Structure 1
Amino acid sequence: MPSLSWSTTPHWRNYHHTQDRLQVETAALVPGPGPSDAISALRKTAELLGAVLAHAAQKRAPVNVLGSAWSFSDITKGPGGLAQTTLAQHVWRVDPADLGAAAVNRDRMVLVHAGTTIHELNAFLEPSLSLATSGAHDGQTVGGMLGTGVHGSALSYGGFQNHVRGVHIVTGPGESWWIERGPVPWLAAASARTLANHVVLEADLFDATLVHLGGLGIVNAVLLEAVPGFVVDLVRVKHPLTPAAIGQLQAGDYAGFAREVWPPSRDTPYYIEVILDPFHPYAGYRGDAHNAMVTLFYKREPNRAVARLATLPDVPHEPTHEPLNLLGRALAAQPEQDLLLPLPQAVAWLVAQEFKTEPAPGVAPRQLTWGGANGPHVRQKILGWEIELYNAAYAIERAHLTTTLKTMLDAFHTHGGGHQVFTLRFVTKAAGLMAFTRFDDTVVINMDGLRTLNSADAARCVALALERDGIPFSQHWGKQGVITSTRVMRDFGMPTDSRSRAGRWRAARYRLLSPEMRGVLCSDALTAWGLA
């Protein structure tokens, strides 16, 4: 049976080394032979997670729950212990007898341990099924992605949390909840009651759990609805991006934009990602073309041989196209004599060195599964030292894209600019009360680059300029922007207002957790954001 392994970690760092802690008590879920059916297995891991919360309550110390610890922000930072979930990874096809009336596509339903990585989930689903979207990195866990509201750039889809139909969350020793939106159940009532001692079908409670911020309990499992398996044609182009092309993105004319940057395009892409050089032109966004690197995915019916090839364990997945990975690889490939910290203007040039255009003229695009096209982030080193990366992300309304870019670029240059590129991704109707992609049509503008004082200062100036110009925006909960309680209240309302997003989320926290457990499940970030 699964068990808990307790240890003291002498020196803990998160994935991106933005947090350091010494002598941290750690509880890790360790897999072992156990029940083969999902409900029994998840009951056991819920019992173990409840024991972690009981131990923390006895010590009167908080506990922070970890997936892959990818987040840059303080969302997993605090003075207490750590609970590590990534050793327990499992995905189950759901027995039709365990499904309720809402599960029309019964062959697409899977129950997933929250510690399961997206890599493992893709490997389980493909090629017959697929995720509709995910982040640009496949090492994050399912529970961690719900923690901060991870998005992709699928043009007609929300964040990863939009796949979720039910959440099993542990809120104390012997206490767990099965939560769905309702009113019709996705998981059969008898199965839900076997799994959890509280079964609730309520929209507000469900929407709160979809972006839980680590403050509602420990997510044990989720019920996901996948989509039919598909592949994507992969196109990558370098193209000067004109104001007219940015206007097409703002208007949602994605087919026209695709033809502008890749003339062979004949239909609307499924996915668009745009990397901009913020130093081209230097004098802000005043009508000149930007140097840009554009990735397009076109959704296709699967060629079964190709789809299967992309998921074989001995075939490497496509290296992720995210700028942070491109920058790390470019720096690691530089000759040792050129390893001085580059000027801010050099970062886009370095990213462009690793951005490989394809296909060649007259050649059909490569086809990959979703998992094959969104491969792992790989840490890169220079002379044995890991490259430290910076990432801030701002969600804005797509209707304001042109004016927002001008404001951001002008602010970026205020003190000389950061070691960063700008990356545009697109999200539609993301689920979750606290989704930072809160607009119906959202553009996420990332500032991706090296962790320097220049980068942090540029991101700070950008946020202040957006506020000065009255442009609505929100910041990614898991990244390095400066999130304050004032900004949370501006974006999500007063936590004391039962009608606001923040108020409804906090009401869920108070309903799910006893006062004792609210003290246990509390990070430095939740306190600073005014949500604890």
Structure 2
Amino acid sequence: MPPILHESHQKQWQNWHQTYNQKLELLVDVWNADASQSTTEGYADTTRGLQRLIARALREGLELRALGAGWSFSTAPATSGILVNTKPLNYLFPSPRTHPSYAGSRENLLFVQCGNSIAELNHFLMAKMGKALPTSGASNGQTIAGAIATGTHGSSLDFGAMQDFVAGLHIVVSPERHVWLERASVPTISDDIPQQLGAELVRDDALFNAALVSLGSFGIVHGVLIVVEDLYHLQAFRQRMPLTEGLWRAMDQLDFSGVQLPGPSGQKPYHFQVVINPNDLQGGAYVTSMYKHAQCPPGSKSPSPGGKLTQGDSALEIVGVLTDKVSDLTIPVLAKLLDRFYGEYSNICGTPGELFTDTTTRGKAFGSALGIPLGQVRKTVETAMAINHEYPFPGLLALRYALPSKAPLAFTHHAPMTCVLDIDGAASARTKTFCQKVWEQLTARQVPYTLHWGKINDLDGARVRSMYGPERIGTWRRAREALLHRPELRATFANDYLRTLGLA
């Protein structure tokens, strides 16, 4: 039964965080014919429906982009052509059959349709499989396809970004062709499953790694095979701590020997995050540590449901909530509200889905994020703080961490660990100018950094080449050409954002 393709008369679209409006030719909402039951036949029918939309784009000479939750601050998903809303596509297929050589557990595999949100996955994994995602962002409103396409990350010291738990991709690349893509070095799915879907089976490490962070330009990612793990719990603590040499060393090198983090003494945290208000340093930084357990330790407390801010929130969620509470988030108001709504807590324990709950952050917030290698963190933060001293902005600095990704255009590719510096503030020209000053000063000081594709950035072709180098960019472009054989297909899945980056 063919999927429901609902054509909207809407000629303008706004992203979730309200950072831009985009004129477009056509908005199409795509629904599985039977939304109540996940079936291989229904999934294959929807694939054919997506192929018909690609054929229409080619026939009419229009660009086409798949839309998830519209969570990106940047124009990565934007197009003036056909915008395909895939968010209603939420089939789930637990424990698919595996390749004979696959060494992992079949029970830890979940094949998900592209529109599933991270919040939906957290709920399904906990309730139906007794499993959990290895990591996720502080916000869980993104769809799985959108989250990996721009390299969304968490702050696990033992794992990378979200694309790093992906083992397979089903990508619709033309009206005649769709592929099942996975690594040749780790064959995962049984060969008969792509055959049932009518997909061409491609096992190639370079193609797969490049397609993980594709910026939506490799075709329509219809399905994602993810590797999950047994359900675990995080024992969480937050404490305001002075910026001592020991804490600086922890932030810069992840060397915790000189600081007593909040929580159990002597244990390495699973999750480590530092939030700094650069206009209120006297009280110190807000340090969050979480420790991984199979079960919550005795005496720990459950997360409080329904709060505006939760234990897992980062700077963006904080600013989003606070800008919803006041019409003008000034520097003094930010400090007062931060103490009131983002206070200390101790010994709160829950699953990842219970601690990282945000699906609604909106507000008048502006978000940017830099990927920095260890050893350059203190220099970067002190540069931002010095700029704030001369040009103060109403916002926060936050540090989170991720292991390096194999995806060539992952902004978290820095080894041995990427520190992500979030710069989040009230949506204003001043906040954007502050970010630009930080980027310019880091470039002048020759500090290596990358910028989050899905957050605000001023990237162009020259800066992308400087950040990633010719080898990474060449690998990514060759993979795109291999999947999108014809120039007209590459043009269909391009947009202004990709052209500005010099990647089209």
- What TM bracket, shorter-length normalisation? over 0.9
- Give the one of 438, 454, 474 matched to 1:503: 474
State the match for 2:241 in structure 1: 239
State the match for 2:341 in structure 1: 354
Q: Structure 1-normalised TM-score?
A: 0.87
State the match for 2:41 in structure 1: 40
Partner Cα distance (1:104, 1:213) in 2 = 29
| Secondary structure in structure 1 of the residue aligned to 2:173 | strand
State the match for 2:120 in structure 1: 120
Partner Cα distance (1:221, 1:23) in 2 = 25
Matched, 1:424 2:399: yes
CA distance 1:353–1:303, change in 2 (3 Å): closer
State the match for 2:354 in structure 1: 372
Partner Cα distance (1:484, 1:528) in 2 = 5
Aligned residues of 1:306 and 1:367 also touching (Cα < 8 A)? no
State the match for 1:492 in structure 2: 468
Structure 1 segment 93-492 matched on structure 2, within 5 A: 93-96=94-97, 98-126=98-126, 128-254=130-256, 257=259, 259=260, 261-262=261-262, 264-281=264-281, 291-302=284-295, 318=310, 321-333=313-325, 339=327, 341-344=328-331, 346-359=333-346, 365-379=347-361, 387-414=363-390, 416-440=391-415, 441-492=417-468
Could you give the per-residue CA deviations for residues 330-353 of structure 1, whole angstroms, max 9, x where no partner exists?
Answer: 34445xxxx4x2433543443332
Partner Cα distance (1:317, 1:262) in 2 = 19
Aligned residues of 1:311 and 1:372 also touching (Cα < 8 A)? no
State the match for 1:20 in structure 2: 21
Aligned residues of 1:331 and 1:350 also touching (Cα < 8 A)? no
Residue 297 of structure 1 aligns with an amino acid whose one-letter code is M
Residue 406 of structure 1 aligns with an amino acid whose one-letter code is E
Could you give the per-residue CA deviations for residues 126-160 of structure 1, whole angstroms, max 9, x where no partner exists?
Answer: 16111110111111001001110000000121001
State the match for 1:383 in structure 2: none
Aligned residues of 1:73 and 1:477 also touching (Cα < 8 A)? yes
Moved more, 243-252 or 472-481: 243-252
The structural deviation recorded for 1:65 is 1.3
Partner Cα distance (1:291, 1:317) in 2 = 20
The structural deviation recorded for 1:60 is 0.4
Partner Cα distance (2:35, 2:456) in 1 = 40
Aligned residues of 2:269 and 2:289 also touching (Cα < 8 A)? yes
Partner Cα distance (1:379, 1:435) in 2 = 24
**Structure 2 stretches lacking a partner, 5+ long:** none
Moved more, 404-413 or 203-212: 404-413
**Structure 1 stretches lacking a partner, 5+ long:** 282-288, 360-364, 381-386, 495-499
The structural deviation recorded for 1:189 is 1.4
User: Structure 1 vs Structure 2: percent identity of aligned residues?
Assistant: 27
Aligned residues of 1:3 and 1:30 also touching (Cα < 8 A)? yes
Residue 369 of structure 2 aligns with an amino acid whose one-letter code is A
Partner Cα distance (1:40, 1:317) in 2 = 41
Partner Cα distance (2:412, 2:155) in 1 = 12
Aligned residues of 2:236 and 2:263 also touching (Cα < 8 A)? no
Q: How many residues align?
A: 498
Q: Structure 2-normalised TM-score?
A: 0.92
State the match for 1:522 in structure 2: 494
Partner Cα distance (1:528, 1:35) in 2 = 41
Aligned residues of 1:347 and 1:421 also touching (Cα < 8 A)? no
Moved more, 147-156 or 6-15: 6-15
Partner Cα distance (2:352, 2:158) in 1 = 16
| Secondary structure in structure 2 of the residue aligned to 1:298 | strand
| Secondary structure in structure 2 of the residue aligned to 1:411 | helix
CA distance 1:358–1:311, change in 2 (3 Å): closer
